[in-house]
Every structure is written in structure tokens, then in C-alpha cells.
């Protein structure tokens, strides 16, 4: 009986894998598994993560745990005031306050940690890792998360940089004609004091980083300042295990950037890992999940052709060393993601569900 059940399970898995094997819009990367039980370390990240994958790879090649390597990688981005999607310099909520979200997940232990609506602490990924390691909880939010970070020696600071403040004020002054906010009468057009167009800077940007170590262990981290100008207290998908991040050490890992609400309504990272469990490659699993999200998108978020008009990108890697990413939509040029396969760091085109003119 046990053998028969195993045969049936294998048959179902093969059928699911065949059903998902549709042509993809980008080449599926080759396997990077090496001989025996050893793996060539692999790190992938969102398009703003080239430095992150380089740092993560450097540490894994020195023997670091993949979670510590991934967190060290994204810390470089959290510390960068010119990246307005995360950490120091992230764009604030509608009140001008930077609120950060992050999650981590460790494949070997299947443990996770997260923080949400964290204020005044620039490295939420590090705090999330401490939640995983030093508490019996998974998610801490708001003031409780700040107190926890302070207890572990994190310094509080104002995360709203001068540039991010200027972008936020531009939004305050321009986004409505029904309030009393007015832009300055004159504004330089060049130089550091020039106005930054808040529409161009508007972001639900994030960094996701997934890592596979030489011993086949997998980990991941997602960290963000969330949707720019959000209602205070809004929490997106990034700190939610199964949405913004999910890791199964026997299968692979997935993470996301983009419209968090669409991801939250579909538990996408968990679904991508389950698709890989049933035989789909990482890229096709990301594309299939985008199809599911697109199908459930409400009318007000669709364009004239019925396609979702928001950005959402998924990233995934599998236990055997395959990797891929897919975006909901793009113009003539596809969005990019970062990869380090142990030889070099590079950007690779994401597969795209909908090619649209922008």
C-alpha cells in the first residue's frame, strides 16, 4: 500500500510539472549543482541587489550561514541613503515618518522572524533575525518592535534624509488641489536643490535576497520601507511569511517586490515554493503565480485591456540550484534581477507576463 501511494504521489507530481511547462519569455538558467553532495553557492536578489548578492556570496564562500550572508547583503542597501525603497532614506508614510518592514526565514531550522511598522531603526532585517533567534515569536510590530530593537543595542535615528523629505514635501504640495499645501514660488531646475518629481520617485520598492549555501541550505530575507506615502501603520507583504518570503529547505525559496496588497491576497511566496515542489522550475513557478494574481485582480486595478496595471515581481531559487524571476508587466525592456552563481555578479532579465507600452 505504501509503495502504491508513493507511486501515485510521484505520478501526480509529474503531471503537475508537465502542466506547468509552458514556454517562458526568458531562458531558464542552467543548474549549478556540483558533484556529490556539494552545491555551488548561489545568491539572487531584486534589481537593486547587485551589491547584496556579491556580499552574500563572499560570506558564504567563507563558510557563513546563508541567512547571515543574505542579511549582510541587504544591510548594504538598508544603509544606502540613495535607495528610497528601504532603510535609511526610504520614502515615508503620508505623515513624513519612515516605517520599515522586514522578514527572514532560515531553511535548516524552518524558523522565521519579522518586524513591521518599525520606526527609527535603519536595519529591520537584522532586527527580524533577532526576533527569530531570541524570541518564541515570529512577528513584532510598531512600538514593541522598537523596544525590542533598543533592548538589543540598536540605536534610534531619524531615517528621513533631506532628499527623501524633499520628495515627500513635493508629494504633499502637489498631490491634491483641495488642501492648503503650496509649492514654493520658485524652484531651481538643476543642482542639489532641484525638485524631485514625486511621481517618478513613488515606490513600493523593496529588496529581496535568497541564498543557497555549499551544503545545500537555503535562507532568505525581504526588507522594505513599503509603499511611499502610505497610511500610517500600513503593513505590506514583506514581513509576512508566505507572502513576501517563504523558504523550504527541501524545495527552495521565493520572495517578492512590488504591490504588497496583491501578493498578500494570494500568499504568493508559499504558492511558488509549492509549485516548485510539484515539479515547476523557479521561473515558471513565478509566472504561474503571476497568472493567479492577475486573475483575481479587481477591476479598478486593471488597464483598458484588462491587465493588472501595477508592478509585482517574484524571485525564486530551487534546491538543485535553478533560479528565476518574473514580473507582472514591463515596457520594451524587461526589469532585471541580480544573480551571483559563485563566479560573478550580474543582472539578468526577468521573465514578463505582460509586455505593455508605458
Q: Which residues belong to the active site? A: 206
Three-class secondary structure of residue 219 per DSSP: strand
Q: Which helix (H) or strand (E) holds 315?
A: strand 312-318
Grid cell for residue 293: 494574481
List, in sequence order, the alpha helices (H) in the chain.
Answer: 2-19, 50-61, 66-78, 124-134, 142-151, 162-174, 198-201, 260-264, 268-277, 282-295
Q: 77 with 125: CB under 8 angstroms?
A: no
CA distances from 347 to 83, 105, 115, 337 (A): 17, 24, 29, 5
Alpha-carbon dihedral sign for residues 312, 341, 23, 246: negative
SS3 44: strand
Q: What is the DSSP string of 70-90?
A: HHHHHHHHHT-TT-TTSSTT-
Amino acid at each position: 500500500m505504501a509503495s502504491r501511494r508513493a507511486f501515485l504521489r510521484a505520478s501526480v507530481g509529474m503531471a503537475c510539472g508537465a502542466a506547468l511547462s509552458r514556454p517562458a519569455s526568458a531562458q531558464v538558467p542552467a543548474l549549478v549543482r556540483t558533484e556529490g553532495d556539494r552545491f555551488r553557492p548561489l545568491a539572487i536578489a531584486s534589481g537593486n541587489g547587485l551589491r547584496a548578492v556579491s556580499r552574500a556570496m563572499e560570506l558564504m564562500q567563507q563558510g557563513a550561514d546563508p541567512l547571515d550572508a543574505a542579511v549582510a547583503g541587504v544591510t548594504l542597501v538598508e544603509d544606502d541613503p540613495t535607495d528610497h525603497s528601504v532603510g535609511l532614506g526610504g520614502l515615508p508614510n503620508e505623515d513624513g515618518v519612515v516605517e520599515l518592514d522586514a522578514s527572514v526565514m532560515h531553511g535548516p531550522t524552518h524558523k522565521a522572524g519579522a518586524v513591521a511598522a518599525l520606526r527609527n531603526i535603519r536595519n529591520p532585517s537584522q532586527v527580524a533575525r533577532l526576533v527569530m533567534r531570541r524570541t518564541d515569536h515570529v512577528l513584532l510590530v510598531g512600538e514593541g518592535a522598537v523596544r525590542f530593537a533598543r533592548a538589543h543595542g540598536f540605536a534610534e535615528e531619524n531615517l528621513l534624509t533631506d532628499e527623501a523629505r524633499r520628495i515627500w514635501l513635493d508629494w504633499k504640495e502637489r498631490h491634491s488641489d483641495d488642501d492648503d499645501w503650496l509649492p514654493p514660488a520658485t524652484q531651481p531646475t538643476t543642482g542639489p536643490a532641484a525638485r524631485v518629481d514625486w511621481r517618478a520617485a513613488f515606490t513600493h520598492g523593496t529588496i529581496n535576497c535568497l541564498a543557497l549555501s555549499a551544503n545545500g541550505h537555503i535562507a532568505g530575507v525581504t526588507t522594505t520601507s513599503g509603499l511611499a506615502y502610505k497610511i500610517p501603520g500600513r503593513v505590506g507583504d514583506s514581513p509576512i511569511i508566505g507572502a513576501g518570503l517563504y523558504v523550504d529547505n527541501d524545495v527552495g525559496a521565493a520572495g517578492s517586490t512590488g504591490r504588497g496588497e496583491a501578493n498578500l491576497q494570494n500568499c504568493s511566496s508559499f504558492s511558488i515554493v509549492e509549485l516548485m515542489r510539484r515539479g515547476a522550475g523557479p521561473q515558471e513557478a513565478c509566472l504561474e503565480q503571476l497568472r493567479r494574481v492577475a486573475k483575481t485582480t479587481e477591476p479598478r486595478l486593471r488597464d483598458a485591456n484588462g491587465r493588472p496595471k501595477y508592478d509585482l515581481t517574484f524571485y525564486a531559487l530551487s534546491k538543485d540550484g535553478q533560479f528565476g524571476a518574473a514580473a507582472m508587466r514591463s515596457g520594451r525592456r524587461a526589469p532585471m534581477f541580480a544573480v551571483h552563481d559563485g563566479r560573478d555578479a550580474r543582472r539578468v532579465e526577468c521573465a514578463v507576463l505582460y509586455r505593455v507600452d508605458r
